[in-house]
Amino acid sequence: MNSPELDSPKSIPESPTPPRSKARWSLTQEAFDRLLGSLSVDRDEAGARYEIIRRKLVRFFECRAVEDSEDHADETINRVARRIYEGQRVDNVTGYCYGVARLVLMEVIKDRERAPIGLDEAPGVLRQKVVDATDSEPRMKCFDECLESLPPESRQLIIDYYQEERRAKIELRQQLADQLRIPVNALRIRAHRIRMSLERCISTCMQAPADV
C-alpha cells in the first residue's frame, strides 16, 4: 500500500501549498488528511472508511482481470486525494472513487493493448503467483497464535462454522444460528468478520521479524 500511515506522516513529504505542476504528483500527508477529512470528521471512522474503499477498489481491479490491482487501487485513491486537495468538492467520495477507478481501468487496458506481449506473459502462460505455503512452519505458528488470541466465543464460532461439508454444513450452520438466536445471514456475517480479523492477524504476524 502506498498510502501514508493514518497517524505517522514519517514517509510523507511536507507540501504547504496545493501543487499544480506537470510533474508526477505524489500523495502528501496533508492531501491524505484532507481525503480522510472528507470521509468523516472522526479520524478512526475515516480510517475504517478508507480501508473499505481501498478493499472495494482492489476487488474492482481484480474482477476486471487486471494484474497489480493493489497498485491501481492506490493510484485511484491518489488521484481522488489530489482532486480533493486541489479544492474540488466531492460529496460522495466512494462513488467518485468508482468513477476514477473506471478511468484508470480504461488506461490500463489501453496500455496493455499497446504494449508488446512477451513470451512469458502470453495467454496461457500467466505468471504463476500461487505459492503453496500451507506447510510453512511460521505460518502455522502464526495461525495457532492468532486463533488463540481470539475471544473464546469467537474462536468456537469460527471453528464450528467451518466444520462439515455440503448438506451437513448447511444444517450445522442453521443449528448454530438457532443457538445464538440470530438469522443465518447474520451468522455468516459474524463468521466472515471473525475470519477477516484472523486473516489480518496472521498477515501482521507473518510480516513481523523472525522471532515469531
Nearer to other proteins, 24 or 166 (CB): 166
Q: Give the C-alpha separation, 70 to 93, whole Å.
A: 19
The least CB distance from residue 160 to other proteins, in Å, is 9
The least CB distance from residue 23 to other proteins, in Å, is 30
The least CB distance from residue 14 to other proteins, in Å, is 32
Pick from 70, 76, 67, 74: which is nearest to 95 by CA? 76
Nearer to other proteins, 103 or 133 (CB): 133
Nearer to other proteins, 26 or 175 (CB): 175
Q: Helix-strand-coil percent breakdown of the chain, rounded to 5?
A: 65, 0, 35
Q: Which residues sit at the interface with other proteins, rule CB under 8 A?
A: 52, 55-56, 58-60, 62-63, 65-67, 69-70, 94-95, 97-98, 126-134, 139-140, 143-144, 147, 159, 162-163, 165-166, 178, 181-183, 185-186, 188-190, 192-193, 195-196, 198-199, 202-203
DSSP string for 126-186 = --------TT-HHHHHHHHHHHHHS-HHHHHHHHHHT-S-HHHHHHHHHHHHHHHTS-HHH
Nearer to other proteins, 27 or 157 (CB): 157
Q: How many residues does the chain have?
A: 212
